[in-house]
Amino acid sequence: MTKNPLAVRLPGLDLKNPIIPASGCFGFGKEYNKFYDISQLGSVMIKATTPEPRFGNPTPRVAETPSGMLNAIGLQNPGMDVIINEILVDLAQSHPDLPIIANVAGSTEEDYVTVCREISQAPNVKAIELNVSCPNVKEGGITFGTDPMIAGALTEAVKKVSKVPIYVKLSPNVTDIVPIAQAIEAGGADGFTMINTLLGMRIDLKTRQPIIANRTGGLSGPAIKPVAIRLINQVAAVSNLPIIGMGGIMTVDDVIEMYLAGASAVGIGTANFTDPYICPKLITELPIRMKELGIESLEQLIKEVREAR
């Protein structure tokens, strides 16, 4: 039997290919199933889960930018109970072989611990993506992912209760990402996903007010890819933990560039909005491009990149 050149093994995740829709850009999976069979994906990162339902931020929540977009959705979701008892159950029945990465968010450490403990017991949840770009209400609103001590302590706390590996989603909105990544690794993380969105703003010339009701939003899309490449490369230089790279991927060349920076799989975000078929297209085109570039397999590429450091 011929070995699958796209197969990648990560903690908790045995992926037939590295293409994973990023959290917040793919709903809970079923929304895109009307376009194609999502079982062909490597995995799906579902929308953020919080202990209680969240209605999100006021509108407008989205604004276009050159080569990207701003969003301030506000972690809108139906809450942990509905996601675990209804949405994940439906996904397990309709797509039994599709591994799910659950994105977990919260306002306190207790929120994260509660959701990680419960959602990690769902049979089809194979890993958790810890969204640390949320304000910690007990620390004066400081974002969990911008302080090494807080990020490390949060990672340690959820690792104690989770039954599946923990991947921490790193924020680019920091002075130096390296000590934060190192603290998270020391806290027991199994991997990283990176990067989250960059903080940005747009202003309406007629109203002279921010376009987004929340004033600021997260910048995503092709505009942020060079930042993502740089930060992934920085973290890969100090850690051997696997990285699921994301930030502006639109083509198979972008995917391979993420690998050369140090990623082991990739998340596809904003591209899903411009082309709902982008993920299956990348899965089809990737082995063709790999052959053109003399890449035998992604596992071999990961090994070569690590050895070249």
Annotated catalytic sites, by residue? 134
CA-to-CA distance for 251 and 5, rounded, in angstroms? 18
Q: Under a CB-based contact definition with an 8 Å cutoff, are residues 268 and 22 in contact?
A: yes
Q: Which single residue is written with the structure tokens 């039954």?
A: 163
C-beta neighbour count of 221 within 10 angstroms: 23
Separation CA 238–CA 147 (nearest Å): 18
Q: How far are the Cα atoms of 37, 77, 230 from residue 145, in angstroms, in the given order?
A: 34, 21, 18
Q: Residue 27: how many CB atoms within 10 A of its CB?
A: 16
What is the 3-state composition of the chain as percent helix, strand, coil, each rounded to the nearest 5? 40, 20, 45
Please tell me whether residue 12 adopts helix, strand or coil conformation: coil
